[in-house]
Structure 1
Amino acid sequence: MSIIYLESKDNPKIKHLRALIEQNQYRKKQQQTVLESTHACLAWLDSGQKIHAFFTTEAALKHPDLQDIQELHTGHIFIISEVLYKSLSTLGTTIACLAVIDIPRHTQTINYNVDTLILDDVQDPGNVGTLLRSAAAANIKQILCTPAVASLWSPRVLRAGMGAHFSLCCFERVDLTNVLPQFEIPVYATNSHQANTLYEQDLKNPCVWILGNEGQGISEFALAHAKAVTIPQPGGQESLNVAIAGSICFFEMVRQRT
């Protein structure tokens, strides 16, 4: 491991880093993304994966979390100025920590008999990352995403996921018309206008959860291929945030299986 100082914002490594942070198409072309937070970096390294390039500041290098990363990271560490780091960071105030990694590739095919989370056009990166984090905590390992879902490997979704991605099998740009009819287990969709409540369902066996767009909800096709359930809201709110609704569903499933 060596420490290298980079001063210019026009350095090719800085340009590559900035493009990965800001441009979805560039991430897809390069098949790389950026982790931003010591927690995510340590989770990535602990899973046996490699960081290609690690960027921090001279002051942050002394932080205990950065010391832990240095013990696991075998490549170069690039030191940049505080001003340059702030121009790159999407987090604001945090320990300076940016890591370039390869987007994982998996060879698995969709399993139609295991607990699955389907995201149907969920577009907010924070909601997507939170849902992945809750799914992983509830031991849901398979994630299917329709084309309009926020890019799973964007820095913002990765930040909200807090390392959950690394234990999940994720499929992006899925056509629900092809996959939904093939599931051999119950499929549930949240819908605030249905009479069937979540707590009336038998969730002890594997099932599928479909969560929809923040404004429009799930598609008509998805709703036609699922049993719609509602989460009782005695306080009278019109609807719940999709990440909160999903988390409630996942942990009702966990409760019934415990």
Structure 2
Amino acid sequence: MLLSVPHGGEVIPDPLKERLLLSPLETALDGDTWTRTLFDFSEEAAAFLSMETARIVIDLNRDPTDLPPENPDGVVKTKTVDGKSVWKKELTPEETTGLIEAFYEPYHTALMEMTQRPEVTIIVDCHSMLETGPSKKGPEWEKRPLFCISNGGHSDGTVPEEGITAPPDVMARFSALLEEVFSDYAVPDVPLVTVNDPFRGGYITRSHGRRTEKPWIQLEINRRLYLPEVPDVEPDAEDLARLEALRLKFLDVFDALSRPADLPVEDEKTIS
């Protein structure tokens, strides 16, 4: 298995530190907080890649042409997820290009190289999501599932014209494994696992997954499973214990998913 953790970094490049308007905690919370610790399987996976530079500086899960000012939430950010300005002085086009060349392009080049390795048979792009998010039914926000896995398909099982990044049987197996291994984390009125809802997969899985036959899947974990109500920049001892408990369960899931199918999938419904 190849595991990618693109949004877990918190490092601000030295030339930009004095221009950043955000605190270290705001920077951490704008990315996939603590996921570099949670998904650190660098010793166990066939290939592992994570980014230490903060998402607020460079977003590896965006199209490289998705730029400010047209999109303040593009590959380089000018606004946080909750609308705060990022920089005291906006980045110039030359600085934006420099960030893409220094951080974005090497990461994607490494992903392409790792995907081609013969020992890699499945790729999971690992993220976290906020506990609640906008509802598709109205202006209010709703609780999100504990896990969302995505392959670019639709939540109703139909396949878009541009195709999907992982076959239905792999998605069904991944979903069943998460349901089984994390059953003790179930919460009333909150789905444990959903497929392509609320996320269908981002630029990383789409751009890499559709040019290889190897399955590419985006995984989102709900932060309510590990982030305390009042987090700090770095996890404390209690936080680390909670992260390690989750990490061991993910190890079971990933180990089973990367092997030939040997566990029954009770739900045979089509998952695309």
TM-score, scaled to structure 2: 0.24
Which has more radius of gyration?
A: 1
Compare the two structures and name the one with the higher helix fraction. 1
TM-score, scaled to structure 1: 0.25
